[in-house]
Amino acid sequence: MLLQPDLKVLFTSGYTQNAIVHAGKLDDGVELLSKPYSRADLAAKVRHVLGTPGRALSSFNSARPAEHQGKAAELNILVVEDNELAREAVCELLLMLGHCPVAAGTATQALADVARHPFDVLLTDINLPDLSGIELAAQASSFCPGLSVIFASAEPVERDEIRSFAWFELQKPYTFEELQAVIRKVVEEADGR
């Protein structure tokens, strides 16, 4: 904590008697998630510990070198993924990268979001329950000229189709670094237009 005073810490334990709980109260600045807990409990507690995205993001951005700030930190990204946990995780990663994600669980919800708000990037799964990600991208790009699309899928994207939008592929499962790299490619492509 002395080396990183802004470091957020969350303890998890099934046994807390007198370790960090004294007289029935947690020590100041200590956050605890008692075992057993669900994924939803963990996600909620992590969000609580990290604080509001704006605060966490501003401290993260201020520590970033100047060459990484600017346009890349301003991307509005629509994330369309029917798996709730995966969708939340991707949005958290995009926040860490300094972007503004909006989450949608279906293509129908995504199209409603696109009609209300302009996006720079659509990051979508291909296999959605109500419409393919490819068809979603085609419709969304008609609402948002210049929209870049990232197809995230375990299956390779067919490259023989002619598409009226710039698109990139992100093979599932992917790492944080791979997500960061594809976002960088999107920015470079947009700067070249």
Residue 116 banded pLDDT, cuts 50, 70, 90: very high
Q: Where are the domains of the chain?
A: 11-51, 54-192
Q: What percent of the chain has pLDDT over 90?
A: 50
Whether the CB-CB separation of 72 and 114 falls below 8 Å is answered with: no
Measured CA to CA, the distance from residue 56 to residue 113 in angstroms comes to 25
Does the predicted model carry a pTM greater than 0.75?
no
Whether the CB-CB separation of 85 and 100 falls below 8 Å is answered with: no
Measured CA to CA, the distance from residue 181 to residue 43 in angstroms comes to 26
Assign 3-state DSSP to the chain and report helix, strand, coil percentages, each to 5: 40, 20, 40
CATH tag, 54-192 = 3.40.50.2300
The pLDDT tens digits for 18-69 are 666 666 677 666 788 778 887 777 877 777 777 644 333 333 333 333 344 4
Could you tell me the two tokens for 58? Answer: 């501003």
Query: Which segments of the chain are extended strands (E)?
Result: 11-13, 21-22, 25-26, 32-34, 76-80, 100-104, 121-125, 148-153, 166-171
Average pLDDT over residues 77-95: 95
Residues 6 or more apart in contact with residue 147 via CB below 8 angstroms: 119, 120, 121, 122, 137, 140, 141, 165
Measured CA to CA, the distance from residue 2 to residue 18 in angstroms comes to 24
Give the bridge partners for 89, in sequence order. none
Whether the CB-CB separation of 76 and 97 falls below 8 Å is answered with: no
